[in-house]
């Protein structure tokens, strides 16, 4: 019943509605602009929410996260330029529909599918997060160490094409987390004589640099790119026949997106691609895919928005980010003095239900905004990049300085912006680095606490069933894909040999 009272209190609070509306509009705008992403936007916006109360601040970021995932579909359909990575699969069939004059129909299907996926995942979040937190309430330091290790192992598939490079990036993030004074021994590590580094490197300037600064340098190489634009017709709701055709795809994709979102380090991009492949696999008209199949729009859009609520489940219940954007939201919770996990459900239930309601309201809001203003939002892409990216850079500098009023944080942002640019050039994604930075402190502290509890006897880890389970999942996450590929290739080789005989 508390969720209903929280919903009523937010709907009757003009300030909260304004905050959620601002986050929703901002998220759609960010999603529409190619190059920007909800992860970058939340990282840039986070320092400016420090002066806000925790509930409005986190609700603003959560609304931006939900709406930003949807916003990318608008430009993916109209100009074949996904505004956000999760919308890449949507462009495969959305743009061909727009070219043949069905942009309004494509946008309508994308909007409805996104809303259904988002609302479904929030409902799962409302039910699953408290249950998961209740289980996690019995966790000790060894269980949290095993869980964090499992989260780091999932970095292999978070983004990018190379699992090895993703794991290297995650290890680099853990290394950054060790900068500062070791509170167990009092020894300074990697401070290089800077007193400001004794408290460690703040993750906010690192996030702003890796996502905002590196993207600025990347976009500087494509300032003269011109997109072919489609004159959009009015967005219209799917017809009864369209909805009948895609309802199974939407239902299946909601489950896929929510499940993949719950897995630590996965996210909307993976969910969208898997949902697209499944939609094609189950379709009776596979030849239409790539040429304007409505199932090719409904599947990815339902899945990538369902992943938003799913990704919040481990973030809130366990303190393990479910995606790159939720890693930033996790950082925002920590900035406001809140540590996500089972204790938060007992100590701050109103805060959590407010986040749930904010995401639910945001999903409903962006449906209205998408149906009424998709064509208007698409015109935002006309903003010259020569004006847009310098503005982003100015926000990055101000946001880095604002948290502690330290120029060192600005230099940290600039340094990691350059490093992020170099990493991207050589195939390293910035997302695993951020995840490693967020999880690094948990891994180190829980490991030290566990060793103290076990009197430095490592074998006692294997006497705890939950720890063993997470160790097995970690090994499966690291070596499962390689073993599966080896088994499949061996099976195909033996089958070819049998056929030749």
Q: How many CA atoms lie within 13 A of 158 on its CB side?
A: 33
**239: its two tokens:** 């017809």
pLDDT of amino acid 376: 67
pLDDT of amino acid 373: 67
Span 430-434, average pLDDT: 77
Find the range with the poorest average confidence among 150-159, 210-219, 269-278, 347-356.
150-159
**382, pLDDT greater than 80:** no
Q: CA end-to-end span of the chain, whole Å?
A: 68
Which parts of 105-220 are beta strand (E)? 180-181, 188-189
**293, pLDDT greater than 70:** yes
pLDDT of amino acid 232: 47
What does the alpha-carbon distance between residue 226 and residue 303 come to, in Å, rounded to a whole number? 30
Each residue's pLDDT tens digit, 32-74: 776 667 777 888 788 888 888 888 888 889 889 888 888 878 7
What does the alpha-carbon distance between residue 38 and residue 314 come to, in Å, rounded to a whole number? 19
SS3 sequence of 424-468:
HHCCCCHHHHHHHHHHHHHHHHHHHHHHHHCCCCHHHHHHCHHHH
pLDDT of amino acid 149: 83
**447, pLDDT greater than 70:** yes
pLDDT of amino acid 194: 77
Predicted structure pTM score: 0.72
Phi-psi region of 279 (alpha: psi -120 to 50; beta: other; left: phi over 0): alpha
């Amino acid at each position: 019943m508390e969720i209903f009272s929280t919903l009523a209190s937010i709907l009757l609070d003009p300030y909260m509605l304004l905050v959620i509306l601002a986050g929703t509009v901002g998220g759609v705008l960010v999603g529409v602009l190619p190059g920007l992403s909800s992860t970058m936007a939340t990282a840039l916006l986070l320092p400016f929410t420090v002066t806000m109360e925790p509930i409005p601040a986190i609700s603003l970021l959560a609304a931006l996260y939900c709406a930003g995932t949807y916003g990318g579909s608008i430009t993916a359909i109209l100009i074949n330029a996904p505004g956000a990575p999760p919308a890449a699969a949507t462009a495969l069939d959305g743009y061909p529909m727009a070219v043949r004059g069905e942009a309004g129909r494509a946008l309508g299907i994308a909007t409805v599918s996104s809303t259904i996926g988002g609302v479904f995942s929030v409902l799962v979040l409302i039910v699953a997060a408290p249950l998961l937190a209740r289980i996690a309430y019995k966790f000790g330091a060894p269980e949290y160490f095993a869980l964090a290790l499992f989260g780091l192992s999932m970095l292999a598939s978070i983004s990018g094409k190379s699992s090895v490079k993703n794991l290297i990036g995650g290890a680099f993030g853990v290394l950054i987390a060790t900068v500062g004074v070791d509170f167990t021994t009092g020894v300074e590590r990697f401070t290089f004589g800077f007193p400001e580094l004794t408290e460690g490197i703040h993750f906010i300037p690192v996030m702003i640099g890796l996502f905002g600064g590196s993207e600025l340098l990347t976009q500087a190489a494509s300032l003269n790119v011109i997109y072919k634009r489609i004159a959009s017709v009015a967005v219209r709701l799917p017809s009864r026949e369209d909805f009948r055709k895609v309802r199974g795809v939407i239902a299946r994709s909601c489950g896929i997106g929510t499940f993949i979102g719950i897995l630590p380090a996965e996210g909307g991009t993976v969910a969208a691609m898997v949902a697209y492949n499944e939609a094609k696999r189950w379709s009776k008209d596979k030849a239409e895919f790539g040429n304007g199949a409505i199932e090719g729009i409904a599947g990815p859009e339902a899945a990538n928005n369902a992943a938003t609520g799913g990704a919040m489940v481990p973030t809130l219940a366990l303190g393990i980010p479910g995606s790159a954007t939720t890693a930033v939201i996790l950082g925002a919770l920590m900035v406001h003095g809140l540590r996500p996990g089972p204790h938060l459900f007992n100590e701050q239930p109103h805060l959590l239900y407010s986040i749930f309601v904010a995401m639910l309201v945001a999903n409903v809001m962006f449906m209205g905004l998408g149906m009424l203003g998709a064509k208007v939002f698409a015109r935002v892409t006309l903003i010259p990049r020569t004006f847009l990216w310098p503005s982003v850079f100015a926000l990055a500098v101000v946001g880095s300085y604002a948290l502690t009023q330290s120029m060192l944080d600005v230099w940290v942002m600039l340094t990691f912006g350059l490093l992020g640019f170099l990493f991207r050039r050589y195939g390293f994604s910035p997302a695993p680095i951020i995840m490693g930075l967020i999880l690094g402190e948990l891994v180190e502290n829980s490991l030290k606490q566990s060793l103290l509890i076990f009197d430095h006897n490592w074998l006692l880890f294997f006497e705890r069933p939950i720890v063993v389970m997470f160790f097995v999942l970690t090994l499966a996450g690291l070596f499962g894909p390689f073993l599966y590929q080896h088994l499949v290739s061996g099976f195909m080789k033996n089958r070819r040999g049998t056929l030749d005989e």
